[in-house]
Structure 1
Amino acid sequence: MNNIYKTVWSNAKQCFVVTSELAKSAGKKSSLVLKSITFLTLPLLSLLSTLLVNAAPQNGVVTQGSASISSQGSTTTINQSSSKAIINWSSFNIDRSETVNFKQPSVSAVALNRINDSNGSQIMGSLNANGNVFLINPNGITFAKGAQVNVAGLVASTLTISDEKFLKGNYQFSATGNNDGKITNFGKINANTIALLGNQVINNGWIVATAGDTPADIALVAADNVTIKFGQYQRLGIKINKGTLNALVNNQQLIQADGGKILLRAAAANTLLGAAVNNSGTIRAQTLQEINGEILLLADMQNGTTNVSGILDASAPTKGNGGFIETSAATVNIQNNSVITTLAALGDNGNWLIDPADYTIAATGGDITGADLSTNLNLTNVIIQTSTFTDVGEPGDIYVNDDISWSASTSLTLIAENNIYINSEIKATGDGAGVIFDTALDDEASTAEFIESQHLQLGENGKVTLLGEDAIYQLDDQDYLVINGNNTSIDGDSALEELQNINENLELELNYVLGDDIDASDTLNWNDGDGFVPLGDFDTPFSGMFSGSGHEIDQLVIDLPDDSLVGLFGITVDTLIRDVGLTNINITGESAVGGIVGAQIDSAIYQSYVTGIVSGEFLVGGIAGGQMFSSINNSYSTANTSGDYVVGGIVGGQLFSSINSSHTTGSTSGYGDVDEIEDINGIGGIAGVQFNSTIDDSYSIGDTSGVDIVGGIVGLSSDLFLDFDECECFEDEVEFEISDEFSSQSIVTNSYSTGDTSGEDYIGGIAGIQENGIINNSYTTGDVNGADFVGGIAGLSYSSSSEPSPFEYVIADEPQEQEQSSVIDTYSKGDVNGESNVGGLIGSAINSRVATSYSSGAVTGDTNTGGFIGSNENSAIEDSFFTESTAQAQGIGEEISDSPSVDLTLLSTAESMQLSSYIGFDISDEFNAGTVWRIYEGHITPVLSYFLTPVSDFNAQLSTIYFGNQVNAVANSVSYADTVDSTQIFGTVTLQTNSADAASYKGSDLTIESDLYSTIYDINNGSGGDATSSVTITPKTITVSDVTAQDKVFDGNTSAVLTGASLSGVIDNEEVNLQTDGTFLTPDVGNNKDVLADYSINNSNYQLTTKSEVLKASITSTTTTPTTPTTPIVTITPVSPNIPEQNNTISATPEFDANPFGETAAGGGPELGGQGVVDCVMLLDNIGSESTEEMTENSFNCAISAGQSNDNS
């Protein structure tokens, strides 16, 4: 078996690296079914015992080696005299009262017991040996509850081994047949080395390996072909040659090997199948006599799953260092409340390696929760290492989506084959605690390569907080000093002082990271009001790496109005600054002034931001004053930036540099007159000036103002303006090479400005002046105001050569050679106001190319004013348009000379919103068409697809009341995903049902016509609402009126007659049948009695306002004369048997042959109340004893007692 710390050659790092034991596995994912374990209860085991007809091992035959077999009572003894012996048994079972003893010549002796039984072996008693015992039964082996195994070494296997391989010491076990036998333990197994091999291996008992002269090792392996090797000191090694179907290793109780190694390994038969390793019990391999323990739970890296709950313990509770734990598979699930520990009481803590494909730390739906990981980090160092050695389509990413916090002096290491995404806080407070990040980035990667890869990404809520003394932070093999006020390597009593003292220590080449947020408000009073001293100067620039790790420096003050190179960093060379926020700053300098850095050379700023105020005179930027051979990426400034010359919202000026995916929202202002500095000036929302540089995927929404050369994105965009051979800007020892990665032209692409731009001369919504540059796929919506050379996109677009470029410009990874200024795929919608050379798109175009662009804002000027270009000299205009909303009849104010070609068309307002108008545009009115332009026909002029966020689905809902026709109406509401701003979507969705009936309609029962539009979203009007939209037609409400309940004569029941009912609200020509039902609440006689009226209809398209009401009606009484009963019988029981014979009046209820009151509608007569209701009077004789007298019609007189009868007759 390979050692756990296997070394493999890394092409990325060009060296040998330590990796997981499973690193070279590869394959394709499949589903995995974990088989549950059914526990055998004690009664079942007792029953199993009774089924063992031949309990003791039977019919043993020694086929190799020397051994004898004897039995006495319940004990079977095998005396082995050779170092190896092979015994074939017809069965090998041990009942509860039985014992099997192997007496072997040495602890290294081996007895191979081949069991030829059609049933699995049942070990329920005792098995003892002073050497090694191999039990081979393809049909399975069960160590039952109560079983006791005490041997030097045990191999229990459903895999077989040939005699030849066994005798040669080549312990290769392989399956025969289906290999569906299981190795199951409910008993207690004690040995020095233990190997359980099978299709499935399950432990629900105790497996304990005790170290003796050699360390203790245990292996539970599910596979079809396994090789066991005994290495130095008889250490057990396992090699998987072939996996098995339904591979499962499951521990539910105790496995223990202190000072040894415990392996649970499941290998699938092929890469399409899954294997599982489960632990819900306790696995313990504590350090023993300073020998560290190891615990390995390994399933396949293709489709395997390792499920961890219970306890994994490789700690060192008394002495020595903690051990090593690995849980590896394509998917590793750590269940809640799992305990994993390698904590050392006196030595170094050990490590826990989690080695999956992708891995997610999340409160729900992840592989482990932040709470559980935090708990275990207090017990062990944790290493999470992803791998792409799988075919499961996962790139090897790690996601931190839940907060992690711990206080122990342990570390969290995240090693990603691809990227690490930190979207929540990682917080360590213990001394010496920390984090180590290792991504796919090559150790020798340049700063530019890092920016392109972005392998470590902090989300909006992502941060790393390190508060302990001498905390640890490492990124891609680079160590960082943690600034947190507790770093003994940096002077200072606080994090702010440590930050400042980077200068004092002159350790500007080291790497630093913020361990927490810093309150820098005290800098207001530092250095006699000068504030913070920038880190690095021209003599000693900062050249290390700096990470804010998601933290902020608040209220930093620098007040050096006479100094250059002013910012948090004065100047950086070959530096990366990342993930830091400077908030509420107030920074003032003279030249090269920036919020984060005054000037950066061969450096980069990544995912950082600035808020507050930045001011100076020359080369002033919200983030950087100036940059050369550098980049600013994924960053922003909301600071108000001001200066005299070369001022930009992000950077003052850039040379052979780039700004990517960045933006500014603050105002940018410049006040200087260009004549004072030899015409080098520029004020821009993103950059003041740029030479041979690029602004890509960036925007400015703040206002930009200045005197001359002012642009909403860049003031001046030009090619190289100086000769390096004659440049005296830098000292002799500073050398630079112009790399091919930088553009030969200055480019603005995929960018926009929405703020207002104002000044005097050379004022443009994107660029004040473009010289030999490119503006591509960009737009403006803000107003542009100036005097001369004023344009919605550019004030002046100029080329030094009049020859058109031989290349059509295309944004590509490698810059294209092009000398001609170009404005391609652009539009301007803001108003443009000036005096001379005023154009809706360009103020003046000289030797330039303008293609597939349009302008629509109102244009005003005195001379040389056009709806598209103010003045044009030798510039080609291709497939471009201006609209009547420009208020200009001419697209070009003045043609100074003949141009190569002019294809410019005036469009009416209606035409400007029609797809067919834009001939030559790469344009579509369809969702996700992949074209440069997108138009919503009849609603808006074209917009650039690059800036549109797809909205593929929406949910249109319409509720209405049945009105007799199919619905064909605008939806009441349209909803979108949470990330969509619905206020920026306009238009309607019309829904049509295929029936008029009241019902719910969706899917094929619904026709959807979507006419939604937006300037920021690409909406799927074709099928976006098909899956979720619906129409609900509720039944129309109608009213029942004019209903009367009729009076009646008492008849003994509660029925009532209702008349006069009518319905109102029914749609003309539709039929609705009304059913009425009246019921008196009681049947008794009375006036104005309550009658419950119930109504129902037979048409589901309608519903009644009320389905019942209470009306009033009366029930009147009636008088009925009863007929004389025939032969009534009265039974008389005297009070005393000796009453004298006399006349008596007897009260009784006679039994009538028929109803004396006649039949009623309900079939019965009125109720007689009992005694007192009917008085029957007659003279009876002989009442001395109980007697029955027959009364004739004339022998009695019955009368109804009025006071006792009911009122109904």
Structure 2
Amino acid sequence: MMKTKTLLTALLTTCLMPAAAVMADGPLPTDPHVVAGDITITQPSATQLLLQQSGAAGIVDWGSFSIGTGNGVQFDNGNGATLNRVTGNDLSSIMGSLNATGSVYLVNQNGIVFGKSGVVNTGGTFVASTLDIDSGDFLAGGDDVFAGNSNGYVINLGRISALGGDVALMGRTVVNEGTITAPNGTVGLVAGREILMRDASLDDGLFSVRIGGSDTSVSDSGTIRAAAAELRANGGNVYALAGNTDGTIAATGVAKVKGRVFLTAGDTGKVQVDKSVKATGADGKGGKVTVGAGTVDIAGQLDVTGTNGGEVRITSDIETVFSGEILAYGKGPASTGGFVEVSGKHLTYDGTVNTGGGTVLIDPDNIEVTDGNSTLAGATVFTSGQVVDLLDVNNFILETTGSDTEAGSIVVSSQIMAFTPFTLTLLAHGDIVANASIMVGDDTVGGLNLVAGWDGSTSTEAFEASVFDGADLASQTIFGNASGTLYFVNETRRSASGSVFIGEGNQFNGISVGAYSGDTNIYANNLVLTGTDNPEVNYGYAQLGYNASGFGVGANL
């Protein structure tokens, strides 16, 4: 954290030192040249500049574009959009006010700084970018592509508001320590070398970083309030920092813009969240927060509560560290719980999650539940207490996906005893090894599902119901197939009314159930043992009990 703050201080110092000389002159934009559109520029007073535009779009090139303290620039551009491109060598320093009836785009490859006294208010969209946009594309409308090799920064310490549109700050490095508001649109802090800004938001958001880099970064320690928010840097770093007590990212959706927050940095970048992030829909239901990067560090609070619980998805290709809090519950008496996924090839979990009866999914490569030292190399470790705490208010799924180098095993080395109405599901790509007892709920509530050899799906309709509607399942289900093994090292007892499925019909490998020493006791209303009838193989067996030879029935029924 201190290293990050030091970096931000250095950025601000670098940008503001040359800006100080400009600000001392109390400037207004200079040397305008109208490139396109019907535009008239006048100066009503020494401190005010007025731009009047008729038509949907216009372009003005400026020698410089800065606004000193106490000065103001007014764009009377109706519902249109005005592109302002700086062709000189000075960065833009906005210490006064910029107001517009429509949309304003400010492009300056030298950098753009909004000071603490700087105020921007637009009726439409506001864009500040160190990346350029093609004039023809801008005039044509539709999706916009911003590109360039500028090393300039975009820094906001002031207040930016777009009443009827979006706010976008784009460049190699983007910093927000001020307040940004877009009640009917999306706020985007986007770092990259080539960025797509869509004409309308899609399922994956309004912005896409086409060309990023490890030298790109987004840092937000201010306040963002909008219908949706996106902090993106492909291959770089995204920092959502708790810079002040009021700082937050709040997305409250509207009819045309869902209440969503995206914090993404590509497969090799990093996302760090230390602040409060909240997303709700226009209908009052919980919104959606998506966090994705090579490395993810969540220490803040992610809140998608509402009349129904919302959705949080945290994914990483390298490592996820979660020590924060996720709230995804519904607040009404008939509300439904939310869904939370916390994923990572390697995962460190030390936070809390409350979905209010919804589902929590954890899916690293390998998992061990232990109160001591892990016996499974490289495994994500949960204590039995963490599992029980999660089962207090959530259905809990522990899933391993495995990889070319990881078996995808789940090992339970410490006792799990949870008196809960919710369901624990273990889905192992490889084996499940129970070195300790597992007890979830009782004969009437709660559920336990164990699946070894999990391939991401199952054809058993009853099991699918028990996974996704586990709170309604008042029994335990055990399901396994030949690609994985269920090991119950100690005595296993079940007295509920569920079913046990070992294997699937017409599979190539044999199925065995038994104990090397001790008894194998199975009590059932109906017990069916079926060998494969697949015509492509010339053998098949279903084995009950232990038989050293590997084939045949090794126990009496």
Fold match, TM over 0.5? yes
Secondary structure, in 3 states, of the residue corresponding to 2:317? coil
Residues 46-104 of structure 1: per-residue CA shift (max 9 Å, x gap): 99277443600111111111100001121111000121111011111111111111111
Cα separation, 2, equivalents of 1:431 and 1:167 = 56
Residue in 1 aligned with 2:442?
A: 485
The equivalent position to 1:135 in structure 2, one of 95, 106, 109, is 106
The equivalent position to 1:350 in structure 2, one of 283, 289, 310, is 310
Taking structure 1 as reference, are residues 466 and 139 closer, same or farther at Cα in structure 2, changes over 3 Å only?
A: farther
Q: Gaps spanning 5+ residues in structure 2: where?
A: 331-337, 370-380, 430-438, 449-459, 494-499, 522-526, 542-547, 552-557
TM-aligned CA deviation for residue 470 of structure 1: 4.8
Cα separation, 2, equivalents of 1:629 and 1:483 = 30
Cα separation, 2, equivalents of 1:290 and 1:137 = 31
Residue in 1 aligned with 2:408?
A: 455
Residue in 2 aligned with 1:62?
A: 34
Residue in 1 aligned with 2:208?
A: 239
Residues 347-371 of structure 1: per-residue CA shift (max 9 Å, x gap): x2111111111445xxxxxx123xx
Residue in 2 aligned with 1:307?
A: 272
Taking structure 1 as reference, are residues 232 and 333 closer, same or farther at Cα in structure 2, changes over 3 Å only?
A: closer
Answer yes or no: is the 8 Å Cα contact 2:22–2:93 preserved in 1.
no
Secondary structure, in 3 states, of the residue corresponding to 2:252? coil
TM-score by length of 2: 0.71
Q: What are the residue-to-residue correspondences of 1:762-777 with 2, within 5 Å?
A: none
Answer yes or no: is the 8 Å Cα contact 1:290–1:320 preserved in 2.
no
TM-aligned CA deviation for residue 240 of structure 1: 2.0
Determine whether 1:173 maps to 2:146.
yes
Cα separation, 2, equivalents of 1:290 and 1:167 = 24
Residues 957-995 of structure 1: per-residue CA shift (max 9 Å, x gap): xxxxxxxxxxxxxxxxxxxxxxxxxxxxxxxxxxxxxxx
Q: Gaps spanning 5+ residues in structure 1: where?
A: 1-31, 269-273, 361-366, 387-395, 443-451, 496-506, 516-541, 548-571, 586-598, 605-627, 638-647, 654-729, 745-766, 773-1209
Taking structure 1 as reference, are residues 256 and 45 closer, same or farther at Cα in structure 2, changes over 3 Å only?
A: farther
TM-aligned CA deviation for residue 427 of structure 1: 2.3
Secondary structure, in 3 states, of the residue corresponding to 2:137? helix
Answer yes or no: is the 8 Å Cα contact 1:292–1:322 preserved in 2.
no
Determine whether 1:200 maps to 2:173.
yes
Answer yes or no: is the 8 Å Cα contact 1:289–1:320 preserved in 2.
no
Cα separation, 2, equivalents of 1:469 and 1:732 = 32
Answer yes or no: is the 8 Å Cα contact 2:421–2:446 preserved in 1.
no
Cα separation, 2, equivalents of 1:578 and 1:733 = 19
Determine whether 1:256 maps to 2:225.
yes
Determine whether 1:37 maps to 2:8.
yes
Residue in 2 aligned with 1:116?
A: 87
Determine whether 1:219 maps to 2:188.
yes
- Larger RCO, structures 1/2 (Cα 8 Å, 6+ apart): 2
Residue in 1 aligned with 2:544?
A: none
The equivalent position to 2:284 in structure 1, one of 320, 329, 332, is 320
Residues 1072-1091 of structure 1: per-residue CA shift (max 9 Å, x gap): xxxxxxxxxxxxxxxxxxxx
Residue in 2 aligned with 1:97?
A: 70
Determine whether 1:331 maps to 2:303.
no
Determine whether 1:161 maps to 2:114.
no
Residues 277-300 of structure 1: per-residue CA shift (max 9 Å, x gap): 443341110345796411111112
TM-aligned CA deviation for residue 131 of structure 1: 1.0
TM-aligned CA deviation for residue 34 of structure 1: 9.1
Cα separation, 2, equivalents of 1:199 and 1:182 = 7
TM-aligned CA deviation for residue 132 of structure 1: 0.9
Cα separation, 2, equivalents of 1:206 and 1:735 = 66
Secondary structure, in 3 states, of the residue corresponding to 1:57? coil
The equivalent position to 1:546 in structure 2, one of 461, 464, 478, is 478
TM-aligned CA deviation for residue 342 of structure 1: 0.5
Answer yes or no: is the 8 Å Cα contact 1:428–1:434 preserved in 2.
no
Which residue identity does 1:325 align to in structure 2? V
Residues 223-280 of structure 1: per-residue CA shift (max 9 Å, x gap): 11112221279x97223221145101000110111xx221111124xxxxx4444433
Cα separation, 2, equivalents of 1:339 and 1:71 = 48
Which residue identity does 1:340 align to in structure 2? L
Q: What are the residue-to-residue correspondences of 1:694-705 with 2, within 5 Å?
A: none
Residue in 1 aligned with 2:233?
A: 266
Answer yes or no: is the 8 Å Cα contact 1:141–1:182 preserved in 2.
yes
Cα separation, 2, equivalents of 1:77 and 1:85 = 15
Cα separation, 2, equivalents of 1:385 and 1:731 = 38
Cα separation, 2, equivalents of 1:649 and 1:460 = 20
Taking structure 1 as reference, are residues 456 and 405 closer, same or farther at Cα in structure 2, changes over 3 Å only?
A: farther
Residue in 2 aligned with 1:1155?
A: none
TM-aligned CA deviation for residue 459 of structure 1: 4.0
Cα separation, 1, equivalents of 2:74 and 2:26 = 18
Which residue identity does 2:396 align to in structure 1? V
Residues 396-442 of structure 1: per-residue CA shift (max 9 Å, x gap): 35465x586758434311244x4444432312577772123444379
Q: How many residue pairs are counted as aligned between the two chains?
A: 472
Residue in 2 aligned with 1:384?
A: 342
Which residue identity does 2:193 align to in structure 1? D
Answer yes or no: is the 8 Å Cα contact 2:327–2:353 preserved in 1.
no
Residues 802-855 of structure 1: per-residue CA shift (max 9 Å, x gap): xxxxxxxxxxxxxxxxxxxxxxxxxxxxxxxxxxxxxxxxxxxxxxxxxxxxxx
Residues 1028-1062 of structure 1: per-residue CA shift (max 9 Å, x gap): xxxxxxxxxxxxxxxxxxxxxxxxxxxxxxxxxxx
Q: What are the residue-to-residue correspondences of 1:315-714 with 2, within 5 Å?
A: 315=280, 320-335=284-299, 338-344=300-306, 346=307, 348-359=308-319, 367-369=321-323, 372-373=324-325, 376=327, 381-386=339-344, 396-398=345-347, 408-416=356-364, 418-422=365-369, 423=381, 424-425=383-384, 426-428=387-389, 433-440=394-401, 455-461=408-414, 463=416, 467-471=419-423, 473=425, 475=427, 484-485=441-442, 487=444, 545-546=477-478, 578=486, 583=491, 602=503, 629-631=510-512, 649=517
Secondary structure, in 3 states, of the residue corresponding to 2:27? coil
Residue in 2 aligned with 1:190?
A: 161
Cα separation, 2, equivalents of 1:485 and 1:222 = 52
Q: What are the residue-to-residue correspondences of 1:779-790 with 2, within 5 Å?
A: none
Paired-residue identity, %: 23
Taking structure 1 as reference, are residues 440 and 741 closer, same or farther at Cα in structure 2, changes over 3 Å only?
A: farther
Secondary structure, in 3 states, of the residue corresponding to 2:7? coil
Cα separation, 2, equivalents of 1:148 and 1:732 = 76
Cα separation, 1, equivalents of 2:481 and 2:264 = 46
Secondary structure, in 3 states, of the residue corresponding to 1:357? strand
Residues 665-688 of structure 1: per-residue CA shift (max 9 Å, x gap): xxxxxxxxxxxxxxxxxxxxxxxx
Taking structure 1 as reference, are residues 70 and 441 closer, same or farther at Cα in structure 2, changes over 3 Å only?
A: same
Residue in 1 aligned with 2:263?
A: 297
Secondary structure, in 3 states, of the residue corresponding to 1:180? coil
Cα separation, 2, equivalents of 1:652 and 1:484 = 24
Answer yes or no: is the 8 Å Cα contact 1:408–1:431 preserved in 2.
no
Which residue identity does 2:410 align to in structure 1? Q
TM-aligned CA deviation for residue 163 of structure 1: 1.9
Taking structure 1 as reference, are residues 99 and 376 closer, same or farther at Cα in structure 2, changes over 3 Å only?
A: same
Which residue identity does 1:299 align to in structure 2? A
Answer yes or no: is the 8 Å Cα contact 2:313–2:341 preserved in 1.
yes
Which residue identity does 2:25 align to in structure 1? V
Taking structure 1 as reference, are residues 736 and 207 closer, same or farther at Cα in structure 2, changes over 3 Å only?
A: same
Cα separation, 1, equivalents of 2:92 and 2:85 = 11
Cα separation, 2, equivalents of 1:732 and 1:46 = 81
Residue in 2 aligned with 1:72?
A: 44
Answer yes or no: is the 8 Å Cα contact 1:297–1:327 preserved in 2.
yes
**What RMSD, in angstroms, separates the aligned Cα atoms of the two structures?**
4.9
Cα separation, 2, equivalents of 1:488 and 1:470 = 7
Taking structure 1 as reference, are residues 439 and 137 closer, same or farther at Cα in structure 2, changes over 3 Å only?
A: same
Answer yes or no: is the 8 Å Cα contact 1:603–1:630 preserved in 2.
no
TM-score by length of 1: 0.35
Cα separation, 2, equivalents of 1:573 and 1:771 = 17
Larger radius of gyration between Structure 1 and Structure 2:
1
